[in-house]
Amino acid sequence: MLSYRHAFHAGNHADVLKHIVFVQILEHMRQKDKAFWVIDTHAGAGLYALDEGYATKLAEHVDGVSRLWSRNDLPPAVAEYLEAVRSINGDRLSAYPGSPWIAQHYLREQDRLRLFELHSSDARLLADNLRHMAQQTIVTQGDGFAGLKALLPPPPRRAVTLIDPSYELAEDYTRVVTALRDSLQRFATGTYAVWYPMLSKPESRRFPQKLKEIEVDNWLHVSLSVREPEAMGMFGSGMFVINPPWKLMETLRSVMPWLTGVLAQGEGASFVLEGESK
């Protein structure tokens, strides 16, 4: 949706969960010498200031990444994620990397980044923020759902696709499921990571089950509620990963109890971790 700007929410609890999972997927992709692609269908601006501009309006990072910044008891997977955040900060947390910036942090010379952003201002910011990666990166202003079709299968036959629309439009839930079904027909062995918000809306509550009904042999679902469900606002978020790294379940099993305790905003904080492998 053209009114949505992720800068308002940068570094919140949902970003923390999304990017911890994303980093583990990228680490797995790097274990083989063969090239891989990262495709981000809703890339945003790529980099966000936390001490000025949009992020100061809501300051959601205060209950997100800021809670992790000075801790000395980080689980290894959380420390790996925070390393990417620290790469653009000094001693003080003043900026937050979006998914494209985190992806480029892990790319090697042979890997490629393909980014879509519908909002014209954010698309320009994204291209500027990643200009040092111009030889490996293509930024397209446009609909990531539509653009994804032309990229699959990717030439190296190895890719991770991140799908995280704003879900401000109810149709986004349906479009995600449709895009996944189409993508799996084109490229069944790819890794697909879908982020979604936990809201009181019926389409949000039903969404995890809709994802589970997609016919795949291997999936993982993790969600984090930071407080009791409420009528208004996002009280948690989830990640649904198709063809996840084989160690991701084990990693999250050790991370999620710790993360739930650290990011809890009241009674009712909880997590779900489940999966299927045939």
Question: In the prediction, which pLDDT does 55 show?
Answer: 59
The CATH class of the 6-277 domain is alpha beta
Reply yes or no on whether 164 is catalytic: yes
Q: Is a pLDDT exceeding 90 seen at residue 53?
A: no
Question: In the prediction, which pLDDT does 276 show?
Answer: 92
Q: What is the pLDDT of residues 229-252, one digit of tens each?
A: 876 789 999 999 999 999 999 999
Read off the pLDDT band of 2 (50, 70, 90). Answer: very low
Gyration radius of the chain's alpha carbons: 17
Q: What is the pLDDT of residues 74-113, one digit of tens each?
A: 999 999 999 999 999 988 999 999 999 999 999 999 999 9
Structure tokens at 115: 């980014």
Question: In the prediction, which pLDDT does 52 show?
Answer: 75
Domain ranges of the chain: 6-277
Nearest to 226 by CA among 236, 217, 216, 234: 236
Q: What is the dihedral of CA 103, 18, 220, 79, to 10 degrees?
A: 80
CA distances from 246 to 179, 188, 205, 249, 276 (A): 24, 16, 27, 7, 11
Read off the pLDDT band of 54 (50, 70, 90). Answer: low
- Cis before residue 75, ω within 30 degrees of 0? no
208-223: average pLDDT? 96
Yes or no: say if 93 and 66 are a contact pair by the CB < 8 Å rule. Answer: yes
Q: What is the pLDDT of residues 122-175, one digit of tens each?
A: 999 999 999 999 899 999 999 999 999 999 999 999 999 999 999 988 999 999
| CA pair distance 245, 27, nearest whole angstrom | 9
Q: What is the pLDDT of residues 251-278, one digit of tens each?
A: 999 999 999 999 999 889 999 999 998 7
Catalytic residue from among 143, 164, 172, 182: 164
Nearest to 196 by CA among 10, 34, 77, 18: 18
Q: Is a pLDDT exceeding 80 seen at residue 6?
A: no
Read off the pLDDT band of 1 (50, 70, 90). Answer: very low
Entry pTM:
0.96
Yes or no: say if 148 and 41 are a contact pair by the CB < 8 Å rule. Answer: yes
- Sign of the CA dihedral running 122, 127, 132, 134: positive
